């Protein structure tokens, strides 16, 4: 079991009022699963993503990652867990504009104290994996939207994380480029990567093997995807 969440709740306080964001979430995700978490705005899916990504902690219940109770970790331990185990891919890429593609991909390894030689070697390999070996010296402004997202995916891969956590990964792309990115996710999953997509689009969720639907802070459905889209 890679991830196990039991009776998880998350509340936010506004003055003296407590607002429930997640209510009694129970969830298991195995290694090498390809899961889409869906829900409308305000459903709680972003809150769940932040907890899965160790960016936030629950108000109650437990989150186990590789049998470690993440709910009990302090900020330093959470940061170490994020850097070691979570590969983040965001809608707006979150690349540093003054750095080259290679330097952007190296960043997580800089934070983990990896030597310069190993950083470069691993970053080059990750960029080669996403078919950007010929763009290593280009800055984000010199790349297309699809190429920038591939750099972001390479950056997520470079630490060899336990999961790839993708938040609306095609939201800033046109439909054809989005299909290219989903084809890449399909390939990465076939290679053994665990992928969790956060999306509000059923069309994107259909690429995953399992769909989880959240509404009003609760899991309303969790089932295998019988309408799976096979990338061309």
Q: What is the mean pLDDT of the chain?
A: 94
Mean predicted confidence (pLDDT) in 4-21: 92
For the chain, the 3-state helix, strand and coil shares in percent, each to the nearest 5, are 35, 30, 35
Tokens read off for 56:
């936030």
* C-alpha R_g of the chain: 18
Residue 113 has pLDDT above 90, yes or no: no
Residue pair 22/61 in contact (Cβ under 8 Å)? The answer is no
Phi, psi of 127 (to 5 degrees): -65, -35
Mean predicted confidence (pLDDT) in 84-110: 95
CATH 3.40.50.300 is held by the domain 3-224: yes
Which residue bears the tokens 């750095």? 99
Residue pair 52/23 in contact (Cβ under 8 Å)? The answer is no
Q: What is the pLDDT of residues 170-209, one digit of tens each?
A: 999 999 999 999 999 999 999 999 999 999 999 999 999 9
Residue pair 84/73 in contact (Cβ under 8 Å)? The answer is no
Residue pair 214/46 in contact (Cβ under 8 Å)? The answer is no
Distances (CA, A) of 35 to 122, 131, 185: 27, 24, 11
Q: What is the pLDDT of residues 136-153, one digit of tens each?
A: 999 999 999 999 999 999
Q: What is the pLDDT of residues 19-30, one digit of tens each?
A: 899 999 999 999
Tokens read off for 188:
């990465």
pLDDT category at 14 given cuts 50, 70, 90 is: confident
- Give the pLDDT of residue 214: 96
Q: What is the pLDDT of residues 206-231, one digit of tens each?
A: 999 999 999 999 999 999 998 899 88
Domain definitions of the chain by residue range: 3-224
**Angle at 209 (CA atoms; ends 105, 53), nearest 5 degrees:** 40
């Amino acid at each position: 079991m890679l991830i196990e969440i039991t009776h998880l709740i998350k509340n936010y306080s506004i003055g003296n009022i407590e607002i429930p964001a997640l209510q009694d979430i129970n969830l298991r995700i195995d290694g090498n699963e390809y899961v889409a978490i869906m829900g409308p705005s305000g459903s709680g899916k972003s809150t769940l993503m932040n907890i899965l990504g160790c960016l936030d902690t629950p108000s109650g219940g437990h989150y186990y990652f590789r049998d470690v109770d993440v709910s009990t970790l302090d900020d330093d331990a959470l940061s170490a867990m994020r850097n070691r185990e979570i590969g983040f891919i965001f809608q707006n890429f979150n690349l540093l504009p003054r750095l080259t593609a290679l330097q952007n991909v190296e960043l997580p390894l800089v934070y983990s104290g990896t030597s310069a030689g190993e950083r470069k070697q691993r970053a080059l390999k990750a960029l080669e994996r996403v078919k950007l070996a010929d763009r290593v010296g280009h800055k984000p402004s010199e790349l297309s939207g699809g190429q920038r997202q591939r750099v972001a995916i390479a950056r997520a891969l470079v630490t060899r994380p336990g999961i790839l956590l993708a938040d609306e990964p095609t939201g800033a792309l046109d439909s054809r480029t989005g299909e290219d990115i989903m084809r890449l996710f399909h390939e990465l999953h076939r290679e053994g990567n665990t992928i969790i997509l956060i999306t509000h689009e059923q069309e994107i969720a259909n690429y995953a093997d399992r769909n989880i639907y959240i509404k009003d802070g609760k899991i309303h459905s969790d089932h295998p995807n019988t309408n799976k889209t096979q990338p061309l």
